Amino acid sequence: LNRIGRGDPKLSTPLMKLAGINAALPVYTKEYVSNLVKAAQTFGNAEEGKKVFERTGCIACHMPGAPQSKIGPDLSAISRGMPVDMIIAEIVWPSLNVKEGYEAAIVTLKDGSVVTGFKQTETADSISVREAATGEIRAIPRASAVTIQTGGTIMPDGLTAGMDEAQLAHLVRYLMSLGG
């Protein structure tokens, strides 16, 4: 559901509990981030982190080294443009800081269909959305919409909640290796 932009906490939370996955996010603190930075630098392994990246499904939206990532921002040089503590904040709390051009937009149309993607422009008469599934920009007249929800990101919270400290340290170490 998350991969197609339809993550719904009312559905995903009970399913994750049923699967034995604790989806609770840790509280954002400098101490938590600092401890994770130390863990990544001390015992994080980039090769293991790449496996975590792929197994968790990050690859569905981010393709490091590809000419253009499919859905999410290009991560191929993330370590050059972002300090490690910010990388951690982006993956553990994705809605904390949303990169320009990646603000979520979910538009329910009168015909019952739903357009999910990234808000590009918005006027009094329309909203333009870059569809997550295709990358195409679609101008939607407000008169065609039943609801328009914007804000946050389509990267779901809780993707890292099921990881233990080692897996998270490996993932961070892998991201630190991109572009470095």
Q: Spell out the domain ranges in the chain.
A: 2-98+164-177, 104-150
Nearest to 46 by CA among 79, 90, 71: 79
In this prediction the pTM is 0.79
Nearest to 119 by CA among 108, 136, 110, 106: 106
The conformational region for residue 135 under phi > 0 = left, psi -120 to 50 = alpha, else beta, is: left
Which tokens go with 138?
Answer: 């679609």
Q: What count of other Cβ atoms lies within 10 Å of the Cβ of residue 79?
A: 17
In the 8-state DSSP scheme, what is residue 29? -
- Looking at the chain, the whole-number percentage of residues with pLDDT higher than 70 is 83
Residue 15: band (very low, low, confident or very high) from pLDDT cuts 50, 70, 90: low
**Region 104-150: CATH code:** 2.30.30.100
Q: Are 87 and 171 in contact (CB under 8 A)?
A: no
Name which residue leads in pLDDT, 114 or 73: 114
As a whole number of angstroms, the distance between CA 46 and CA 59 comes to: 15
> What is residue 112's predicted lDDT score, i.e. its pLDDT?
95
Residue range 106-165, pLDDT digits in tens? 999 999 999 999 999 999 999 999 998 888 999 999 999 999 999 888 888 888 988 999
**Region 2-98+164-177: CATH code:** 1.10.760
Residue 140 dihedral angles phi and psi, to the nearest 5°: -115, 120
